[in-house]
């Protein structure tokens, strides 16, 4: 019998999902608190975790990241009302295997659970939560997250034009990332997540992207213009099962979210890394409290 841990602070969902999964032949463990759920996961090593994001004492994103750092390998499915694309990207990047938004269909949830459990032999223990990190590789990398302004609106107005603009956007992005020795981590629609071993290359790439789109937009009509927001950060990245994970990806994504279209925003740690190594000027924008980030971060803008 597969063991599923449900970490959810909504009593109605907790009861409804646990009863439904029990009726389908699963053993269900329950927790309404983030820290309690984390400890229960390490103790019981469930075959799969259903995890809410907004939890008391410890949010689901941090909980997921902590479990992956403790080499918990079994599937984790985010079960949350946070339905924005950026939330899904961040959830998957901190280590989740799937993302289900509320309200959800019970049959779809069950199908996703079954799909994720196919890679977990029933009754096996695949996770080493002893705190050893032999299977994890850490890198100090610069991370760039970009997003195309108003892509969804363009799709609603003129799907054919929006797809043509997306092709141009993706070509420019991939070209610049390749030129400056970056690595595309993931492309989700109009959003690009890329890593660089050199912070200065990440900065040069970001500037090159904005300059290319600036030139492209000169003779274009309003509906044909392509503008992107870029957020860059440098931090510790975890390589887990061939994929890059870690809070640094989350921070880059959140910085992008507050950036103005056509601009490049960066964290203070990135700024300190490239300061004095480039002829670009920077403007301090002050301290920001970013969503699901513990401490406020000083943000800088590249003067283009």
Domains in the chain, ordered, with CATH? 3-117 (3.40.50.2300), 137-303 (3.30.70.1230)
The three-state DSSP-derived secondary structure of the chain is CCEEEEECCCHHHHHHHHHHHHHCCCEEEEECCHHHHHHHHHHHCCCEEEECCCCCCCCHHHHHHHHHHCCCCCCEEEEECCCCHHHHHHHHHCCCCEEEECCCCHHHHHHHHHHHHCCCCCCCCCCCCCCCCCCCEEEEEEEEEEEECCHHHHHHHCHHHHHHHHHHHHHHHHHHHHHCCCEEEEEECCEEEEEECCHHHHHHHHHHHHHHHHHHHCCCCHHHCCCEEEEEEEEEEEEECCEEECHHHHHHHHHHHHCCCCCEEEEHHHHHHHCCCCCCEEEEEEEECCCCCCCCEEEEEEEC
User: Residue 206: pLDDT band by 50, 70, 90 thresholds?
Assistant: very high
Mean pLDDT, residues 49-64: 90
Bigger pLDDT: 35 or 86? 35
pLDDT in tens, 102-131: 888 888 899 999 998 887 665 455 555 555
What mean pLDDT comes out for the span 259-266? 96
Q: Greater confidence, 155 or 7?
A: 7
Q: Taking the complete model, does pTM exceed 0.75, yes or no? A: no
Confidence of residue 214 (pLDDT cuts 50, 70, 90): very high
Distances (CA, A) of 41 to 15, 50, 124, 127, 172: 19, 11, 15, 10, 43
The answer, yes or no, to whether residue 252 has pLDDT greater than 70, is: yes
């Amino acid at each position: 019998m597969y063991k599923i841990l449900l970490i959810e602070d909504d009593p109605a969902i907790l009861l409804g999902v646990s009863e439904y999964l029990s009726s389908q032949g699963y053993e269900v463990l329950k927790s309404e608190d983030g820290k309690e759920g984390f400890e229960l996961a390490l103790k019981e090593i469930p075959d799969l975790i259903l995890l809410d994001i907004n939890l008391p004492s410890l949010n689901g994103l941090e909980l997921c990241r902590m479990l992956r750092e403790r080499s918990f390998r079994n599937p984790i499915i985010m079960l949350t009302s946070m339905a924005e694309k950026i939330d899904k990207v961040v959830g998957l990047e901190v280590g989740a295997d799937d993302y289900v938004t509320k309200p959800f269909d019970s049959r779809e949830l069950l199908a996703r659970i079954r799909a994720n459990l196919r890679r977990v032999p029933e009754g096996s223990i695949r996770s080493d939560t002893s705190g050893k990190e032999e299977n994890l590789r850490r890198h100090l990398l610069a991370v760039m997250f970009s997003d195309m302004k108003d892509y969804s609106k363009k799709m609603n107005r003129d799907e054919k034009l929006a797809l043509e603009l997306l092709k141009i956007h993706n070509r420019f992005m991939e070209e610049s990332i390749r030129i400056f020795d970056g690595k595309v981590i993931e492309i989700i629609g109009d959003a690009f997540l890329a890593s660089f071993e050199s912070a200065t290359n990440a900065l040069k790439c970001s500037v090159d992207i904005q300059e290319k789109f600036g030139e492209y937009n000169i003779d274009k009509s309003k509906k044909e213009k392509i503008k992107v927001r870029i957020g860059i950060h440098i931090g510790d990245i975890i390589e887990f099962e061939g994929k890059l994970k870690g809070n640094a990806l989350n921070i880059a994504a959140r910085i992008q979210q507050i950036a103005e279209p056509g601009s490049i925003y960066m964290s203070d740690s990135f700024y300190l890394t490239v300061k004095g190594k480039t002829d670009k000027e920077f403007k301090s924008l002050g301290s920001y409290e970013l969503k699901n980030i513990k401490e406020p971060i000083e943000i800088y803008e590249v003067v283009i």
